[in-house]
Amino acid sequence: MLQNYVAYALFFLFQICFIIQLYYIVVVQGKLRGFKSMPAEAGFSEPVSVIICARNEAKNLEQYLPTVLHQNYPNFEVVVVNDCSVDGTYDVLRAFQAKYPQLKVVTINEHPRFKTAKKFAVTLGIKGASNEILLFTDADCEPASQNWISQMVQHYQNPNTQIVLGYSPYKKFGGLLNALIRFETFQTAINYFAFALIGMPYMGVGRNLSYKKSLFFEGKGFASHMHIPSGDDDLFVNQNANSINTAIEISADSHVFTQPKTTWASYWKQKIRHLGASKLYKPQHKVNLTLQATSAIGFYVFFILCLILKVELVVVLAIFGFRFACQLFIYYKPLFKFGYKDLTWILLILDPFYYIYLGSVNIARLFIKKTTWK
């Protein structure tokens, strides 16, 4: 008798997780399925400052900085913050400055008693920028086209816009790790884009993010979270974005590609650092994200337990298949738009693996006190 109660309690919890998952997949993430970016209008030419923070990035700057400097936009500067580099970054930037008058370099020298964090570098880059519209990327990033700037900043034609969220996919290589990294990036992107579309923007990614300089100083920059190494992008958006001042840009020309981690250890360290900022999100965002993740993990856990205990097998399998069908229907177009169509065929494998990994990282983060950005 007790075994029956336990079995049907698990079945009930499985159904609850399923209903919650349907809400986030169909109602929230479904908003992105039919969304289309508008082509940039040629008449918009407000001055833009592109900001890149670089610590020991000489090789990446040599390879990728020209793709930023050669953008097809009439009025922009590129501000590179040389953050305590010791690898020849200074010489690389000096050579570029001789060829490109729109390149400005801000140098931070190593302090003998402490290391500066990325937020300090970003702040100095913003202070050194000449223009109101700021556009951020990283030294190891490559815009998908020469129209990256124009696509991202066209949204400022709307006087209410103060933040533009862009997309930064990882490059494709072989192996499970690369597939997981790209799927995690897709999941993160479809989430923050979709929540922005329903009027609840909660994060952005600093590899492709734009906001106004005045907003940075009105919101006191990173003052409220300067004590943690991460959050120069997502926490700033979380604290300053709202349903009126935030736009999204997902066109192929606006994408910024970057190199993925190549080892599980480096990816683990990166995720530990990134997730550290989420504890400072606004309460309603933390509730939504926690409910979304725990219902997904619970869905898979209770599914397995129901199979083991042979509880309503036909119904359980039907529910599992229906959720997957909904997910495939909602994700299909965004996966193509984001250049990840190859992941469609292994979605059933990547989705549970992603949530297992996400749960593991969150547990591990409880025991790690200190991280660095470089």
Query: Over 60: is that where the pLDDT of 54 sits?
Result: yes
Give the confidence band of 358 by pLDDT, cuts at 50, 70, 90. confident
| Lowest-confidence segment of 80-89, 115-124, 168-177, 298-307 by average pLDDT | 115-124
198 vs 232, which has greater pLDDT? Answer: 198
Dihedral sign (CA 65, 229, 249, 268): positive
Query: Which pLDDT score, from 0 to 100, does residue 365 have?
Result: 65
Residues 204-231: tens digit of each pLDDT:
999 999 999 999 999 988 888 887 877 7
pLDDT, tens digit, for every residue of 291-329? 999 999 999 999 999 999 888 899 999 999 999 999 999
pLDDT of residue 234: 92
Distances (CA, A) of 79 to 63, 251, 258, 364: 17, 25, 19, 36
Is the pLDDT at 374 greater than 60? The verdict is: no
Give the span between the Cα atoms of 334 and 32, in whole angstroms: 7
Decide if pLDDT at 280 tops 70. yes
Q: Are 174 and 274 in contact (CB under 8 A)?
A: no
Q: Residue-wise over 200-221: b if at least 16 C-beta within 10 A, else e?
A: bbbbbbbbbbbbbbebbeeeeb
Share of the chain above pLDDT 70, in %: 93
Question: With bands split at pLDDT 50, 70 and 90, how would you rate the model's confidence at 275?
Answer: low
Letter for the amino acid at 372?
A: T
pLDDT at 101: 95
Residues 6+ apart with CB under 8 A from 323: 18, 21, 22, 25, 299
Rounded distance between C-alpha atoms, residue 227 and residue 222, angstroms: 9
- Interatomic CA distance for residues 229 and 273, integer angstroms: 8
pLDDT at 257 over 70: yes
Mind listing the domains of the chain with CATH numbers?
A: 2-32+284-365 (no CATH), 48-270 (3.90.550.10)
pLDDT tens, residue by residue, 145-202: 999 999 999 999 999 999 999 999 999 988 888 998 999 999 999 999 999 999 999 9
> Is the model's pTM score more than 0.85?
yes
The average pLDDT across 69-92 equals 95
Question: Would you place residue 373 in the very low, low, confident or very high pLDDT band (cuts 50, 70, 90)?
Answer: very low
